[in-house]
Structure 1
Amino acid sequence: MRENGHASPSSQSKDSVIEGTSNTNFVTNAERNSLPCLVKIYDCPESELKLNEVFEFVGVLTLDSDVMADKNDQDESSYGFIEDELVHLPPEKVPRLHCLIHRKLDVNDFLHSSPMMEPKPQLVKETRESLLRHLTSILGNDGIAAHLMLLHLLSRVHARIDNVAVGKLSLNLTCLSKESVSVFGNQVRLSVQNLLPFTQCIPLTVNYLNTASLAPKKDYQTNRLIPGVLQLADGSHLIIDETQLETGTLNSTGVENARLLKNLMEFQKVEYNFEYYKMEMIADVQMLILSEGKSNIVPADLVIPFQPSSAASFEVVPAETLEAWRWYLASVRSLPHSIESDMQKVVESDLVAARQADRSLGGQDLSRLLTMGRLMSASFGETSLSLEHWQMVKELERLRRERLK
């Protein structure tokens, strides 16, 4: 990303300097003591740094002494004002990090113990079973929802064919009320936060849609790209809680925000607003919708009526167990996948039979079944689809469709 906030696919020569700003919006509690700055990277082609990828920079920080003096005189309650001041500083006053070393980070880099274990079948199977038990427990012993949740947490965009993001598997849990989401929804949110490095939750209301800044927008006065809620790191998990949504009127901002959410859900793309033109950027975001009825704003790949048979149980998970689950999700999620020729014939025959039995099935439904087959195999640490795992997918889909009737 260039200093002026415009994305460019072109590469620069090795003599060039790449500049980019750190995110000065949506500061988390853990980042309250951080300092926004301009990162200057030397001897590196611009194509190495892609939007929404996470990087670690090590270098020399240079800053204006007057700015630091003002910052040291402020207390914690005025942090937001300092942030605003830093954003609006003239270019020569902005703190700069002259980067010496940088590297792209992946999910494994966020594991506390960073265990570089090989995903052996027995180890993967045991970890899968314990994680599935945990998901079943927090979902009130709804085993079908727990299985679908596991596949959802393993999903990622692994290819793009035209406008289709292959590999995504968004999930919509329905039959949730304001009361039940305060129990089960909170349990799911806390569990996801403990399992994944990048998570975000949107409490969807009419007022939120009418006022939120979901799309990143260029501010030409400060010469900055102002981040939007949907500018998320690749591999992020987004929960959208629709249970607070009531009847109301959307203004132009609300209509645009609803369109942006639907666009992210269907195509895994986020539209960036450069005022004079708009540019779509690819994304890779897992999306979970909690709602009373089927969501019309963000139609998910999988819809499952939530049917708990008991109250969600709160359990204290040992740190080593959490770390094992994180390792499991990070490791099997990145496994390659293939379908052997014999198995491919079986799948094709089953899909043809399914289409003949139900003419309402479309290409997206068949593609989703293939994605579920891939994720089911990956959940067991396998890199090719087996007949057993394909049968499990068909049975899971049959049970899901029964609930929809």
Structure 2
Amino acid sequence: MTKDFKEKPLEYFSSIIDKIDKNCYEKIKNSVSSLLGENKTILDQIPFLEKSTNSKELFRFRALVVHDSYDNEVFPLPELVESLFANAAVQSDKAEWMERKVVQCISIPNVSAWNHVKQYDGSVLVKLYTDEDVAVCNAYEFLGFPCEDEQGFTFHVITLQKLENDCNHLIEASGSLNPEMDNYLCNNLKTVRNTLLSTISSYLRGDALLSELILYHMFSKLKLKKEGYIDSLKLGQLNFNLIVGNEVDFAERTLFPLLQLLLPKVKYLSLDLNVLNNKAFESVMDYDNGILKIGELLLTKGTHLIVDETKLNQGELNEQGIRNLALLKDLIQHQTVMFNFTFPITISTDIPIIVVSEAKSMFSMEQSIQWKPTLECIEKVEVPQDMINTIRVFISFWKHKNIEWDHDVKKKMEDFFVEKRREASKYSAQDFSKQLELFRLMSMSYGQSEFVDEIWQKCDLFYRKWQQLK
């Protein structure tokens, strides 16, 4: 059965159903999902879609959903029979019609070289035949059939899987680790963390405080809790302004390569006047061609963004440039991206951001730090490739770990806040919120999902050092 599924998928599907009706796709999806659940290696043997083609073979396609507001398509069952089951010995009800959802997708942008999957690079209309919940700015792995028709290149989906863990191909699409990697991380957390920190420090020329901050930033993920005093605080993101003085190539030649080495998706955005005045940061609907034109700020959730303010040169901003800066400001302050469908649509996202500038940033950033290297040049640490891959898995996996604190821990933190207020009246609820965010990220960097008092003390010391620099 497994061999038939891979080599003769249409015959396999025909064996599942005896009649093509409105429920046939649901039956096929359930059968395929069950088969893949029983044997997870099957999916790895199905190739990625590499080119626009008509094919009766199964392919995988990893993509970012960029537009999901098309009207549903209604089509007659004979179309399904002729396109997918032309050679199948099954009956169809010619009187019935089906409905399918259509979404526009593009191959996942800003993927680091080590995380790149060789597949079709372009815009595709993906057609969904079951009630699958897909959302803009999220990435998925689709399994199905490619097709070229009057609409252009389309992809007919059998099953799909939302890509967790920032689309890191070293981790299963579901976000789980294989037992061997899970066991290695459990037994070698200290070594993995120390190697990661020393690698960061080597790129940053020995700046210990900034190295730790970059480390915690790598685990940054927006998380909002609504109930309770502590849980109502915004936890997760660690966005900041990095001040580098006259080191105007730092963002592009040092920070960007560092993040690309370790993270699966990173975008570098230069605020050069030519970029601001001539590129569109906003995604705009092209009604003549029926597709969304992709703007610079349309990124998959979890993509780390480096904004290079040091490249901003003298000159006059045109209307496009002014609009682009406003859109970037909204992303930085509110974590929203704008779509233009002749009327504006705002969608929430989750983009960790570092703004690099010569002096204080033009954008309102709650936190900042100045780069203070202690070495004259970068002294890169030689790290074996298998350890680099382990670090990549470690970051992506722990970034999405859910850390919850019980009542006793919350009470301890509240007592800490009261004591801090006694010691220093300037210590505010906002300071407490920032320190809680930092503690959660620091705990992740140690591979700890439980409260550890030693890490809490380290967090308090680090936060005080950081604030003293301001």
TM-score scaled by length of structure 2: 0.70
Q: What's the counterpart of residue 154 of structure 2?
A: 96
Matched, 1:118 2:185: no
Which residues in structure 2 correspond to 1:67-216 (within 5 Å)? Answer: 92-107=150-165, 110-112=168-170, 116=178, 117-118=181-182, 121-159=186-224, 166-177=235-246, 180-182=247-249, 185-216=252-283
In the aligned structure 2, how far is the partner of 1:16 from the partner of 1:158?
A: 36
CA deviations on 1:118-155 (whole Å, 9 max, x unpaired) are 37554222211110111111111111001111111001
- Structure 2 residue aligned with 1:304, among 369, 372, 375? 369
Matched AA of 1:104: K
CA deviations on 1:50-79 (whole Å, 9 max, x unpaired) are 111111222222225xxxxxxxxxxxxxxx
Q: Of the two structures, which has the highest relative contact order with CA contacts closer than 8 Å and spacing of 6 or more?
A: 1
- Structure 2 residue aligned with 1:18, among 91, 101, 110? 101
Contact 1:203 1:242 in 2 (8 A): yes
Deviation at 1:241, TM superposition (A): 1.0
- Seen in structure 2, the aligned counterparts of structure 1 residues 305 and 360 have a Cα distance that, compared at 3 Å, is same
- Seen in structure 2, the aligned counterparts of structure 1 residues 353 and 264 have a Cα distance that, compared at 3 Å, is farther
In the aligned structure 2, how far is the partner of 1:5 from the partner of 1:168?
A: 26
- Seen in structure 2, the aligned counterparts of structure 1 residues 182 and 5 have a Cα distance that, compared at 3 Å, is closer
Matched, 1:288 2:354: yes
- Structure 1 residue aligned with 2:311, among 244, 249, 253? 244
Which residues in structure 2 correspond to 1:273-284 (within 5 Å)? Answer: 273-275=340-342, 277-284=343-350
Q: What's the counterpart of residue 455 of structure 2?
A: 389
Stretch moving more, 204-213 or 263-272: 204-213
Matched AA of 2:102: E
- Seen in structure 2, the aligned counterparts of structure 1 residues 24 and 54 have a Cα distance that, compared at 3 Å, is closer
Contact 1:174 1:294 in 2 (8 A): yes
Contact 2:108 2:300 in 1 (8 A): no
- Structure 2 residue aligned with 1:52, among 110, 119, 137? 137
CA deviations on 1:235-257 (whole Å, 9 max, x unpaired) are 11111111122344433322322
Deviation at 1:353, TM superposition (A): 4.4
Instruction: Structure 2 unaligned segments of length 5 or more: list them.
Output: 1-62, 75-97
Contact 2:165 2:399 in 1 (8 A): no
Matched AA of 1:130: T
In the aligned structure 2, how far is the partner of 1:4 from the partner of 1:34?
A: 14
SS in 2 for 1:337: coil
In the aligned structure 1, how far is the partner of 2:299 from the partner of 2:66?
A: 20
SS in 1 for 2:369: strand
Deviation at 1:259, TM superposition (A): 2.0
Q: What's the counterpart of residue 217 of structure 1?
A: 284
- Seen in structure 2, the aligned counterparts of structure 1 residues 176 and 225 have a Cα distance that, compared at 3 Å, is same
Matched AA of 2:134: L
Contact 1:241 1:289 in 2 (8 A): yes
CA RMSD in angstroms comes to 3.4
In the aligned structure 1, how far is the partner of 2:347 from the partner of 2:153?
A: 28
Contact 1:304 1:403 in 2 (8 A): yes
- Seen in structure 2, the aligned counterparts of structure 1 residues 227 and 359 have a Cα distance that, compared at 3 Å, is farther
CA deviations on 1:216-271 (whole Å, 9 max, x unpaired) are 11122222221111111111111111112234443332232222222212221112
In the aligned structure 1, how far is the partner of 2:427 from the partner of 2:322?
A: 30
In the aligned structure 2, how far is the partner of 1:254 from the partner of 1:357?
A: 47
In the aligned structure 2, how far is the partner of 1:207 from the partner of 1:22?
A: 28
SS in 1 for 2:379: coil
In the aligned structure 2, how far is the partner of 1:262 from the partner of 1:360?
A: 28
Contact 1:176 1:290 in 2 (8 A): no
Q: What's the counterpart of residue 255 of structure 1?
A: 322
Deviation at 1:101, TM superposition (A): 2.5
In the aligned structure 2, how far is the partner of 1:359 from the partner of 1:226?
A: 51
Contact 2:166 2:265 in 1 (8 A): no
Contact 1:263 1:270 in 2 (8 A): yes
In the aligned structure 2, how far is the partner of 1:257 from the partner of 1:347?
A: 41
Q: What's the counterpart of residue 42 of structure 1?
A: 129
Contact 2:166 2:264 in 1 (8 A): no
- Seen in structure 2, the aligned counterparts of structure 1 residues 108 and 199 have a Cα distance that, compared at 3 Å, is closer
Name the larger-Rg structure: 2
In the aligned structure 1, how far is the partner of 2:287 from the partner of 2:398?
A: 43
In the aligned structure 2, how far is the partner of 1:176 from the partner of 1:186?
A: 15
Matched AA of 1:56: E
Q: What's the counterpart of residue 63 of structure 1?
A: 148
In the aligned structure 2, how far is the partner of 1:140 from the partner of 1:196?
A: 20
In the aligned structure 2, how far is the partner of 1:271 from the partner of 1:104?
A: 23
SS in 2 for 1:261: helix
Instruction: Determine what percentage of the aligned residue pairs are the same residue.
Output: 25
Deviation at 1:212, TM superposition (A): 2.3
In the aligned structure 1, how far is the partner of 2:120 from the partner of 2:169?
A: 22
SS in 2 for 1:401: helix
Matched, 1:270 2:337: yes
Q: What's the counterpart of residue 370 of structure 1?
A: 436
Matched AA of 2:138: E
In the aligned structure 2, how far is the partner of 1:195 from the partner of 1:392?
A: 24
In the aligned structure 2, how far is the partner of 1:389 from the partner of 1:248?
A: 48
In the aligned structure 2, how far is the partner of 1:198 from the partner of 1:301?
A: 24
